[in-house]
Amino acid sequence: MLYTNTPSKDWQGWRPTKWGNIVFEHPSTFDTLAMETQKKDEIKKDLIKFSKGKDYYAKIGKAWKRGYLLYGPPGTGKSSMIAAMANLLDYDVYDIELTTIKDNSELRKLLIDTKGRSIIVIEDIDCSLDLTGQRKKRKEKDDDEADKEKDPVSKLKKEAEKEGESGSKVTLSGLLNVIDGIWSACGGERIIIFTTNYVDKLDPALIRTGRMDKHIEMSYCCFDAFKVLAKNYLDIESHELFGKIEEVFAETKMSPAYVADMLMPKSEEQDGETCLKNLIAGLEASMEEAGKKSEAAAMLETKDGVVTEG
Ligand SMILES: Nc1ncnc2c1ncn2[C@@H]1O[C@H](COP(=O)(O)OP(=O)(O)OP(=O)(O)O)[C@@H](O)[C@H]1O
């Protein structure tokens, strides 16, 4: 799907396109993004440098493109970051759902059909396809081969399972070829973004420097990020409860999505202070739960230790 910042452009008229077209209206900006100020400034600087880099890229003989990998737990603002980037640079956003793409050739055609001044997004790359473990899987397949030959029924079952895993035949090497080859022949000013909740699952080839130039970790809410949300959601820049909140944030992991939700007044009567109190209560409850879980895990470990020793 193409989310365009420039609905008046008649680009759809001059050639047929495979992209659906929606006007891009996501309100997220770097001002509304909850993240450490220093990290935000660094990313903004990087983006602006890229967008002004036409001559530089020509001089060094490289395609005018940049890859970003956004990784972090759910609800930490990966989609909000993409929208903030698009709004900052006034770029269009092409959102690719890899699982719906038939094969490598269709992927190539789609990408050739993208215009400059755009961000191409492949979200949740780890779950999109079997892009993450193909090498490992191939090895496992080889290892399995002998066993399967001995048992024809399990062989058939396994083959059926594999076929049902994904309707798409886009492969890791197909995606890499598109990024490296056709991609650089497409003209310039394109950003490609992969998002994932599980960076460790990705094949290193996919995210090496040169393909994904900048890796951005979207992390749990810190006090600095909380202050952005408190200002945006409640118009509160300082409050006597901030000290307590800072203490609790130092000890708990909570997504900005949760904090944002807690800071949204749920009724007319709920004022800013009530929201802050509810947030503290929510964070403390989560801390308590996490404490109980780690206690239980520690007990289990001790128990296992005893059993093993015995
Ligand atoms: N860093 C953030 N700054 C501001 N708002 C945020 C942030 N993170 C989350 N939110 C709020 O939570 C909602 C969900 O966040 P978003 O979809 O951007 O997270 P995500 O990391 O892409 O999540 P997922 O991995 O589940 O797709 C957003 O609409 C926004 O209101």
Q: Which pLDDT tens digit goes with each residue over 122-176? A: 988 877 766 554 444 544 554 555 455 555 555 555 554 554 445 567 888 888 8
Nearest CA to ligand 1 atom 7: 77
Tokens of 164: 């049902």
67 lines ligand 1 (CB under 6 A): no
The tens digit of pLDDT for each residue in 43-56 reads 999 999 999 999 99
Regarding whether 190 and 141 lie in a shared domain, the answer is no
Q: Which residue has the higher pLDDT, 12 or 74?
A: 74
Q: SS3 breakdown of the chain: % helix, strand, coil, rounded to 5? A: 55, 10, 35
Backbone torsions φ then ψ of 4, nearest 5 degrees: -100, 140
Separation CA 309–CA 286 (nearest Å): 34
ipTM: 0.96
Range with the lowest mean pLDDT among 169-183, 198-212, 227-241?
169-183
Which residues, in sequence order, are bridge partners of residue 73? none
Does the reported pTM lie above 0.95?
Answer: no
- Does the beta carbon of 79 sit less than 6 angstroms from any atom of ligand 1? yes
Tell me which of 99 and 85 has the higher pLDDT. 85
Q: Which candidate, 194, 294, 299, 199, places its Cα nearest to that of 253?
A: 294
| Residue 214 predicted with pLDDT over 60 | yes
pLDDT of residue 10: 38
State the distance from the centre of ligand 1 to the C-alpha of 165, rounded, in angstroms.
29
257 lines ligand 1 (CB under 6 A): yes
Q: Note whether 211 and 228 are same-domain residues.
A: no
Residues 101 and 160 in one domain: no
Specify whether 93 is located in the same domain as 23. Answer: yes
Cβ(234) to ligand 1 under 6 A? Answer: no
Percentage of the chain lying above the pLDDT 90 cut:
44
Going by alpha carbons, the residue nearest to atom 26 of ligand 1 is 74
Same domain? 61 vs 105: yes
Q: Are strands 65-71 and 190-196 parallel, antiparallel or unpaired?
A: parallel
| Whether residue 181 sits in one domain with residue 107 | yes
Q: For residues 279 and 298, what is the distance between their CA atoms, to the nearest angstrom? A: 28
Q: Is 170 in the pocket of ligand 1 (CB under 6 A)?
A: no
Q: Is residue 73 over pLDDT 90?
A: yes
Give the three-class secondary structure for 263: coil
Number of folded domains that form the chain: 3
- CA-nearest residue for atom 31, ligand 1, is 257
Same domain, 194 and 280: no
Tens digits of per-residue pLDDT, 253-308? 999 999 999 999 988 888 999 999 999 999 999 988 888 887 788 777 776 665 44
Shared domain for 118 and 142, answered yes or no, is no
The reply to whether 7 and 146 lie within a common domain is no
Last residue of some domain: 201, 217, 233?
217
Instruction: Say yes or no: 157 and 284 in one domain.
Output: no
Cα 293 to middle of ligand 1, angstroms: 26
| 42 and 148 inside one domain | no
- Burial of 190: CB neighbours in 10 Å, binned 0-12, 13-18, 19+: buried
State mean pLDDT over 82-102.
Answer: 91
Alpha-carbon span 67 to 65, nearest angstrom: 7
What tokens does 150 get? 């001995």
